[in-house]
Amino acid sequence: MFLRFEWVYFPFPMNSNLKKNDERLIQNLVENSYCVLDNFFEINTFNTFRNYFENHLKLLKPAAIGHKAGKNINSKLRSDLICWVDETEKELVDFFDTMFDIQYILKKELFLPIKRFETQMAYYEKGSFYKRHQDRHLGTDQRLITAVFYLNERWKKTDGGELVIYKSDKGENQSISFEPLGNRLVIFLSELEHEVLITHKARKSFTTWFRMDL
Ligand code: OGA
Ligand code: NI
């Protein structure tokens, strides 16, 4: 019998640029099931992301539910418009660098077997919603963590569009809701059921999923 030694190569940076407080919140993610990071980016950076979104509205298409053969557009379940965003987009360098930092913490501190992430921009026109669902396609569990970053300015309570996350704790159903405030990042376990309540104003976000497949 041979003993084999292998060099372990970590293809990610050895520390992150996140604020210490944000790191701490993310470190409690598994215990709490979610975390909320407000005023997340510098205001100029946030405005660059907002401009990017405005300049790419033409790429948005009605969201499809499910994947592969089961894919269809189901406007009863969701009515947002989406498109995939490329990690190489120059205006979004700070966004993706930060997603890499978060991925680093999720892997190193929480030991989650994450291999990559994917990002979508999502646009909910007035009257749009996304009914209660999980971010996992039927029979797959590759999406471990969901992070939603909101780009809405001057959002009021009466504008609706809250993200509601359902937690079942010892059989008791609990829910917590978040307004889609600009420069807010909400991170939660993808297995949790959640929904987007009907919005009374255009609602914009980047959604990132951290996945365990390659
Ligand atoms: C989703 C989703 C929540 C939100 O895109 O799967 O649930 O607040 N988004 O936009
Ligand atoms: Ni979702």
Question: What percent of the chain shows pLDDT beyond 90?
Answer: 68
Lowest-confidence pick of 91-95, 168-172, 191-195, 204-208: 168-172
Ligand 1 touching residue 187 (CB < 6 A): no
Atom 5, ligand 1: residue with shortest CA distance:
207
**How far apart are the CA of 192 and the centre of ligand 2, in A?**
9
Ligand 1 touching residue 205 (CB < 6 A): yes
Has residue 129 got a pLDDT over 90? yes
Prediction pTM value: 0.89
Q: What is the pLDDT of residues 49-88, one digit of tens each?
A: 999 999 999 999 998 655 555 555 577 889 999 999 999 9
Ligand 1 touching residue 189 (CB < 6 A): no
Has residue 47 got a pLDDT over 70? yes
**How far apart are the CA of 83 and the centre of ligand 2, in A?**
15
Ligand 1 touching residue 122 (CB < 6 A): yes
Atom index in ligand 1 nearest the CA of residue 133 equals 7
> Band of the pLDDT at 105, cuts 50, 70, 90?
very high
Cα separation, 35 vs 32, in Å, equals: 7
Residue 45 tokens, joined: 């950076």
Cα separation, 32 vs 65, in Å, equals: 28
Ligand 1 touching residue 135 (CB < 6 A): yes
